[in-house]
Structures are given as C-alpha cells and as structure tokens.
Structure 1
Amino acid sequence: MVSVTGLFDNYSDAQVAVDNLVQAGISHDDISVVASNADGSYDDRSSDTADAAGTGAGIGALVGSAGGLLTGLGVMAIPGVGPVVAAGWLAATAAGAAAGALAGGAAGGLIGALTDSGVPSEDAHVYAEGVRRGGTLVTARVTEGAEEDAARSILQNSNWVDIDQRRAAYADDGWTAFDEKADPFSPEEIEEERRRYAARIPPVL
C-alpha cells in the first residue's frame, strides 16, 4: 500500500475529494482527514475525544452528510498546529506520534504521521504548515499503480493545493519549515490566509 495526500484550502473541496474517493471504491478505512479547527467551528459536531479519529465511522460521516464535511469527527490537538478535527488512520497515527513526542520520541505529531506513511519530509512540512494555516488534508491508502494514479487524479481534480507553489509562497514570507513549537495561527490569521488564496485559479489539466 502507498499513500496519496492532498491539501485543500476549503472544506468543501475536501468533501468533494472524499466523496469521489469513496465512489471510486476506496474504503472509508483507508481515507483520513485532518482539518484545522482553530475557530471552533466544528466543536458542536465532533466527539469530545481523539478516540473517534481512528475509526472508519468518522469518515463515513463525511460522505453525503447534510451536517457538513466534518460531522462526527474527533477533536484533538497537534503540536504547532493547534486544535483540529480528524478521522481515519493518519489521525490515529498523528495522535500516537504526538504522544510519543511528548514522551521524548524523535518525530511527533503530523510530521511524524505523514513521513511514516511515505510522504517526503519536505512535503510533510508544507502539509503540516497548510493545516496550521487553516487547511484540510485528505490522505488515502491505496494499492500502488492504477489505484494510486486514480486517487491522485481525484484529489488534483478536486482543486487540491499545488504543493510546490504553496511552498514557494510560504518561502516568500520567510518560512523555511514547520515548527511544532510555534504558536498556532489565530482564527483571524487563518481567515487572512484563506482570503489570500481565495482568488487562486485551479490549474488547467
């Protein structure tokens, strides 16, 4: 199995991606979502613990839910990112990695979970920073080859963030790497980030 990951600026785009992954035959158990909840928007629609984050049932709530993208997901805190709502195997790994980091482990939180799943370290830093700044990660475990290509195409066609362009945009502001010791973005800073990229035109495929 390999993992395919996409970063999304908007929850609605992430929901489309999850819907299409499921319609393509990828199991709920193999899809994970981690989304910023710095503004508390989803507190009343999420469970009180991170335990729910590791279940396929949480992903099931993403698909066709009248309540919105993140209904029924687990609430957790990730160092450097702040509060998130999450579901699936990556979220469970991130929770375990964060606990390990607090106990003296080498790699913690979201960076550790992403790199353990096969994401290159330089990309993992951009993904983690993207969630810190209000984004949503969708990650799917798939078989290598045709299913991998199909999953990547689904995420890209759902208006994923071009990771190289976003890395360059962050670097223009002096960013070099995700810092789990940094203060999480405030709701006001996240809103400013979302406005900054709202006019981004999806690439022509």
Structure 2
Amino acid sequence: MRTVTGLFDNYDNARSAISQLESAGISHDDISIVSNNGDGRYDGDTDAAEGAGTGAGLGAVAGGAGGLLAGLGMLAIPGVGPVVAAGWLAATAVGAVAGAAVGGAAGGIIGALTESGVPENDAHVYAEGVRRGGSLVTARVDESRVAEAEGILRGNQPVDPALRRSAYEQQGWKGFDSSLDPYSRDQIAAERNRYPLV
C-alpha cells in the first residue's frame, strides 16, 4: 500500500476529492480527512464542540454526506486547535491524545504520515497547513492505483507542498510546532486570502 496525500486550502475541494476517491472504489476505510475548524464551521453541534474543546476525544458531527464524510468528528490538536476529522489518520490522532503520547495528536499525525511513506518535510507542511486553516486528505491505495488517486487529488486543486514550504519559510517558519497557539478565526481568514484559488 502507498499513501497519497493532498493539502487543500478550500474544504469544498477536499470534500470533492474524497467523494471522487470513494466513487473510484477506494474504501472509505483507506481515506482520511483532517480539516481545521478554527472558523467554527461545525460549532452548531455542541457535543462535538465540547469534545474539541477538551482535546480528549472525537465527538460526532452531524452532516448530510455519506461515506467517510458521514463519520466526521471533532478533536483538538495541540498547536492546531479544533479540527473535524475522519478515517485512519484521525484514529491515530485520537489514539495519541488518549494515550498522552509525546507530541500529542499532531505528533501522531506527522508520525502516521511518515510511517506510511510521506516525507517528513511534507508531513510538517501538511500539519502546518491544517493549522493555518487547510484540509488534509490522505488515501492508502495499492501500487496499481497510485496514479489514479494522485490524479483525483490533483484535479481538486491541492497545495504544492514544496511551494507552500517555501512560502512558509519566507515568513520565518522552520517546521510545525505544536507548542504554538492555534490560529485565530481572523488569522485563518487572512491565510486563506493569501493563497487565492486559481
């Protein structure tokens, strides 16, 4: 199995990528999403919001989508803040929070990505991208389906990790740091405006 990954500035693009991956026959068990919720997109569900505030677990988020997106839940990641998440990568993050692992959930996400073959430099960019308001989609696929899955992600306007790393570094960024404060709603809005969709 190989892991293909896409960071999206726009949540709708991430949703579209997930729907297309599922339509292509990739099991929702092999797809994950971790999406920043610092702008309060899912705050209407009070149980989920309480779970995100404590960082202690995954609370269910109500939604009309099917497949993987029907299982969205909320948790808090140190340095990132509240996220909505589903899939194997989210389960790793919840396990890291529940087990109080060193580095917390963010370390669990970076560790899970690198263990599944994502270069560490990219894993840090992906974690930082979620911190700044983005959505991370991952899919574990057989080698024969890598090109197809990558094509689906590319077709939904993902971030180029090398270009985004360069942009972050120009701002003085050196790597994801879970000890930093999560981005505020205004900072997330400013970050999204920095990278307009083409």
Which TM-score applies when normalising by structure 1?
0.82
Amino acid across the alignment from 2:107: G
Contiguous gaps of at least 5 residues in structure 2? 52-56
2:73/2:86 contact within 8 Å kept: yes
Amino acid across the alignment from 2:67: G
Q: Deviations over 1:13-34 (max 9, x none)?
A: 1111011101111011111110
2:17/2:153 contact within 8 Å kept: yes
Amino acid across the alignment from 1:184: P
Q: How does 1:13-92 map to 2 (within 5 A)?
A: 13-45=13-45, 48=48, 49=51, 50-51=57-58, 60=67, 62=69, 73-92=72-91
Amino acid across the alignment from 1:111: I
Q: Helix, strand or coil: the match of 2:35?
A: strand
Q: Quick one: distance in 1 between partners of 2:44 and 2:185?
A: 17
The residue that corresponds to 2:163 in the other structure is 165
The residue that corresponds to 1:2 in the other structure is 2
Q: Quick one: distance in 1 between partners of 2:68 and 2:9?
A: 20
Task: Note closer, same or farther for the CA distance 1:172–1:75 as it changes in structure 2 (3 Å cut).
Answer: same
Give the superposed CA RMSD: 2.3
The residue that corresponds to 2:177 in the other structure is 179
Amino acid across the alignment from 1:7: L
Which runs of structure 1 show a deviation greater than 2 angstroms over 4 or more consecutive aligned residues? 43-53, 97-100, 102-110
Task: Note closer, same or farther for the CA distance 1:155–1:45 as it changes in structure 2 (3 Å cut).
Answer: farther
Q: What's the offset of the Cα at 1:72? A: 5.2
Amino acid across the alignment from 1:26: I
Matched residue pairs, number?
A: 186
Percent of aligned pairs sharing the same letter = 59
Q: Quick one: distance in 1 between partners of 2:96 and 2:136?
A: 17
Pairing 1:197–2:195 present:
yes
The residue that corresponds to 2:146 in the other structure is 148
Contiguous gaps of at least 5 residues in structure 1? 63-70
Q: Quick one: distance in 2 between partners of 1:17 and 1:97?
A: 26
Which TM-score applies when normalising by structure 2?
0.85
Q: Quick one: distance in 1 between partners of 2:46 and 2:18?
A: 18
1:98/1:108 contact within 8 Å kept: no
Q: What's the offset of the Cα at 1:61? A: 5.7
2:133/2:192 contact within 8 Å kept: yes
